[in-house]
Amino acid sequence: MTNPHALPGSSDWRDWPAGTRVVVRRRLTSAEAEATGQRWTDVVGVVVASGTDGMTLRRDPARADAPGAGTVVRVAAADVEAAKAIPPRPERRTARPRD
């Protein structure tokens, strides 16, 4: 799948510009893995910065009131298991009153 937000000719997450909405699977630290029983976690967010050393994301969970919403997370390059650009969040529609 082509990333419309990537620089021309690049599909590498290190080249994604700020503002790209992504999901990143990151490797947990040993302490986090022991506490959760998991090896990875997914972070859905918007790229604040990216480069050869990793990326900084502002969390963008499905619900605005979810714990950690809007917080900034740093993911080191060595901890990135997979990364994918995803479309911008759809605008929420207001419910129409029933007749």
**pLDDT tens, the chain, 99 aa long:** 444 444 444 468 998 999 999 999 999 999 999 999 999 999 999 999 999 999 999 998 777 788 888 899 999 999 999 999 999 887 777 767 776
pLDDT at 91: 76
pLDDT at 41: 92
pLDDT at 45: 93
Roughly how many angstroms between the first and final C-alpha of the chain, as a whole number? Answer: 43
- Predicted structure pTM score: 0.74
pLDDT at 11: 61
Q: Name the nearest CA neighbour of 10 among 83, 87, 79, 70.
A: 83
Q: Length of the chain, please?
A: 99
pLDDT at 9: 43
